[in-house]
Each structure stands twice: as structure tokens, then as C-alpha cells.
Amino acid sequence: MFKPTIGPIIGHTTTNHARIFMRADNQGPARVFAAIRYRAAGTQQWSASIFAELGSLRDMTQVFALNNLSSDTEYEYQTGWFSPMNPVHTVNSVAELPLQWPREIYRLRTRSSQALQPRAYIVGSCRYLRMTAGIPTLPHLCDRIFASINQLIEGAQPPISATLMTGDQIYVDDLNRFAPDREYKEILSKYRAAFSQPNIQRLMAGTSTYMILDDHEIEDNWPANAERSDNELYSNAMAAYEIYQASHSPAHQLTTNDTVNRAKLEHYWYQFNDGDVEWFVTDSRTRRNLSAADRRVLDVEQEQALLTWLTNSAARVKFVVTSVMFYPDRKRLGDDAWQAFPEQRLRLLETIRTQRIRNVVFVSGDVHGSLTARLTHSEDPDFEVHTIVSSPFCNSKLLPYATASTFILDQPLVRTAAGDYQHELTSAVVSEDNFAHLLVDAGAIQVNYHDRDGKRLQSTEITLR
């Protein structure tokens, strides 16, 4: 057996379930199979192997579902692929073959079922890996920060539950002024290059990773800049996105026999929980309505699902991921974020305020700068909403970093008849490559920003109510 060419990537993980993504090489007309096995750390007996046949339709990838696991338990797993000499083999018959597994043993940890146990997460976005003629240019520069994340994870207490990548995991349009990538094969090659660098590969093989797209997985400021000729680009970009980012997410349901149903997705947004912390990861990009009559970032179905979740969830902390910034607004170039959709933003804020929903935190990236900010209401002292922005993992020299002067901070975010929504920064604005380390305990969320070498740049504490 050979080790995966991409992955493994640990995706959605619960107290008793985990999803593992991997990719094999295409062997032309020869059949290719993948396999996985696992065991509780410290034990000798491997599980029965799980096999799958791979095909070019999904770029030789598979998402394995590991079920009936124990909570808060560390597991070891091995995965690989092979092409048997006999062309008539099936998934059932290859189980009888004497296989020599790749020597790499990976580890994963299931979620704890204890509600009040402290949790920790890594958050970041925007990784600019420039490609020239299909080859990454200086790829180590954009892989360096993931080495620092791995180092932090090794000694982290509490253990890191998950990494949240909130958009622009690849830049399809990295050379869009000169030679934009539009073909399916070109976009697939970007995912393969981005996810096969050694440090990010190590990160995703040992820590569950949740992803959602932003514009650069398709085209800058999509769909505002879309033209009729972009239909094929969009189709190709989303096909690749579904393979490499959505496939291992909770957006996919399980089949009746507990395998991942990789049929066409109805939507990309999803929810997951981790004890008394819950996440709603929005699709802030592909369901937009730009018409003047009903401008919206989230389509009707998604908005209603988010409002229902906010109102009914009993989670102590509610994180809402939106790839573009919820607030504060930018002085320039703000038409791509929530700033340009004020009616829908106000509906969300009014629901949170009037329903007395506490400990709501909006998590985003996009602006190539990191910050925390607090939103209050002039006439309602009980209202408070926070935001955590983390961006970028790796910037391009062609793009500026955000600074405090980027944002409108000297006037209310929204003025209404019932009062003003007022906001303020609760941290400095980080204007360099960075990632966020979030620690959620009984009384607060601590937000630590680290530079690409792992040095802590600053810390902010968000008091829970």
C-alpha cells in the first residue's frame, strides 16, 4: 500500500464519530482501492479494515466514516491505497489480500461529552499560495505558519478540538489579471498543491479541520464581479470545492449504513457542537442575492435556519462563522461584506437583542488583518455581541494588510428608532501573517493571536455572561 497523495484530513468529529479524507494517485485504467484501520491508542488490536474503490469523478478521493468510537479518547489510524494486479477485484475481495500498510500512524481525539470542560480552537483564513505554470512559488513561505500551529497544538491544554478555516483556503484567481485559472484540472491542481505541503498536511492529519469557502475559491468578490462567461468557472470551482473542502464537513449526512453520503449537496452551510459550545458555519458567498429589492448575504432558508438556531440553542457559547466581516465596517471596499447588506444584518442583531440571546460571537477572516471588537446598544444594556477576526495565514506582497484606520470606528454601526448599535475595538489590529488560538472556559473566551513563528502577539479576554 502507498500513503495518501493528499491527506489524511480529519474532518467532522463527534464523541463517537470521525471522518477521514484521503486521496490516491490515478492509475489510468487500473482499479484503485483505499483502506483505513484504527485502534484506541495504547492497544495492539487494529479494527477490521474499511475499503473503498476510488474513481476519477471525485479526483481519486474518499471520505471514510469511523463509527462507534468512545468519547474523549485518542485513537491511532492508518490509511493508504493500492492497485491490485487482478482487475476483477471488488471492495469485498480485496479484504482478503495480504496488505502491507504504510508505516505512518496518525492520531485523532474524539470530542468530550462533558459539557463544562474547557475547549480550544485554532482559527484562521486567507492562505495565498501562488502558483506559476501549475507549480507553487516558494511554497515553504505559506506552509511555515502551520509548523507553528503544530508546535502550539503539541502542548496545548486544553487540547485543540478543531481548526476552523474560514475562507480563501486557495486562490483560484491568484494571477487573475494575467492568467486566471478557470479549468477544472487547474483548480484541482491548486487544491492538491495547497493541501499537500508538509506542515499543513501534518496539521490536518492530527486535528479535525472545518472549512468554508470565501470568494477566492471562485473569483475575487464573487458574485458581484460575475459575468455570463463565468458559469463554467463557477461550476468547476464548486466541483473542486465539494471534493476538497465540503466532503469531510457536517454538510454531508450519513447514509443508513453510516457511510458519508457524497451525493450532491443541497447547501454548504452547516452546524456542529462541542460540549456546550456550538458553531454555525454560514455560506456567506454562494447564496447571495444582489437585487435591490431583497439584498442578502444568506438566502432565505439559511437565514431562517440561523435565526432558529440562535433562538433555540441551549449552548452556552454560540460561534457564528461568516467568511466576510460582520462588523466593523470598512471605510473603503466594504461592498463585499455585511456592510453592504444592512437590512439582513439588522434582522440578525434585532433577533439577538429582543430574544436576549447571550454569548454570541461572530468569527470571520477576509480582510488580511486580525482583531476583536464589541457591539453594544445605546438603550439596551443587556445586549452584547462580540466578533473575532483572524486573517491571513499567508499574505501576498500584492495585497495590503488591514490597520485600525481601515475601519469606521467613530460612528454607530446602525442607528434605529429603538437606539444605536455602537461598536469598539477590544484589541489592536494585527497587521501581519497570524492565526488565532481560542480558549473557552467557564467564565471567558481568551483570544490569543500568534505570528507565523508562533510568537504571541496579543491576548484579549471576552467575558461570558
Residues 145 and 260 in one domain: yes
Residue 138: Cβ-neighbour burial (10 angstroms; 0-12, 13-18, 19+):
exposed
Residues 93 and 163 in one domain: no
User: Of 425, 429, 445, whose CA–CA distance to 370 is shortest?
Assistant: 429
Secondary structure percentages of the chain, helix, strand, coil, to 5: 20, 30, 45
pLDDT at site 180: 61
What sign results for the dihedral spanned by CA atoms 40, 45, 48, 50?
A: positive
Residues 127 and 276 in one domain: yes
Residues 40 and 139 in one domain: no
Residues 264 and 405 in one domain: yes
- Whether the per-residue pLDDT at 239 is higher than 70: the answer is yes
Domain of 368, in residue numbers: 119-463
Placement of cell 501549475 in the chain? 134
Residue where one domain finishes, among candidates 109, 130, 163: 109
* Cβ-contact 18, 73 below 8 angstroms: no
Residue 363: inside a domain, yes or no?
A: yes
Banded model confidence at residue 131, pLDDT cuts 50, 70, 90? confident
Residue 114: inside a domain, yes or no?
A: no
CA distance 225 to 213: 17
Query: What is the CB neighbour count within 10 angstroms for residue 368?
Result: 22
Question: Residues with Cβ < 8 Å from 103, sequence gap 6 or more?
Answer: none
User: Using one digit for the tens of pLDDT, what is the confidence trace for 7-31?
Assistant: 999 999 999 999 999 999 999 999 9
What sign results for the dihedral spanned by CA atoms 359, 360, 365, 370?
A: negative
Residues 87 and 123 in one domain: no
User: Using one digit for the tens of pLDDT, what is the confidence trace for 149-189?
Assistant: 999 999 899 999 999 999 999 999 876 555 567 899 999 99
* Cβ-contact 390, 374 below 8 angstroms: no
Residue 194: inside a domain, yes or no?
A: yes
Question: Residues with Cβ < 8 Å from 121, sequence gap 6 or more?
Answer: 160, 161, 162, 163, 164, 437, 438, 440
CA distance 20 to 121: 19
CA distance 363 to 462: 13
Residues 156 and 60 in one domain: no
CA end-to-end span of the chain: 53
CATH number of the CATH domain containing 47? 2.60.40.10
Residue 388: inside a domain, yes or no?
A: yes
Residue 131: inside a domain, yes or no?
A: yes
Q: Three-class SS of residue 23?
A: strand
CATH number of the CATH domain containing 167? 3.60.21.70
Residue 209: inside a domain, yes or no?
A: yes
Average of per-residue pLDDT across 38-52: 97
Residues 213 and 160 in one domain: yes
CA distance 138 to 3: 25
CA distance 243 to 258: 19
CA distance 48 to 51: 10
Residue where one domain finishes, among candidates 84, 109, 134: 109
Q: Three-class SS of residue 124?
A: strand
Residue 206 main-chain phi, psi, to 5 deg: -120, -10
Q: Characterize 101-112 residue by residue with b for buried, 16 or more Cβ atoms within 10 angstroms of its Cβ, and e for exposed.
A: beeeebebbbbb
Residues 447 and 426 in one domain: yes
User: Of 292, 287, 256, 243, whose CA–CA distance to 269 is shortest?
Assistant: 287
Q: Quote the cell numbers at residue 144.
A: 511555515
User: Using one digit for the tens of pLDDT, what is the confidence trace for 81-124?
Assistant: 999 988 899 999 999 999 999 999 999 999 999 998 999 999 99
Residues 246 and 361 in one domain: yes
* Integer-rounded Cα radius of gyration of the chain: 22
Question: Residues with Cβ < 8 Å from 68, sequence gap 6 or more?
Answer: 16
Residue 142: inside a domain, yes or no?
A: yes
Q: Quote the cell numbers at residue 184.
A: 477544472
State the total domains in the chain.
2
Residues 365 and 444 in one domain: yes
Model pTM?
0.97
Q: Where are the alpha helices (DSSP H) in 260-402?
A: 300-312, 342-354
CA distance 390 to 214: 14
Placement of cell 466581516 in the chain? 325
- Whether the per-residue pLDDT at 132 is higher than 80: the answer is no
Residues 61 and 131 in one domain: no
pLDDT at site 178: 54
Residue 1: inside a domain, yes or no?
A: no
Q: Give the CA distances from residue 450 to residues 24, 76, 215, 283, in Å, rounded to whole numbers and listed in that order.
A: 34, 29, 25, 27
User: Using one digit for the tens of pLDDT, what is the confidence trace for 399-453?
Assistant: 899 999 999 999 999 999 999 999 999 999 999 999 999 999 999 999 999 999 9
Residue where one domain finishes, among candidates 61, 76, 109: 109
Average of per-residue pLDDT across 61-70: 98
Average of per-residue pLDDT across 276-293: 97
pLDDT at site 184: 95
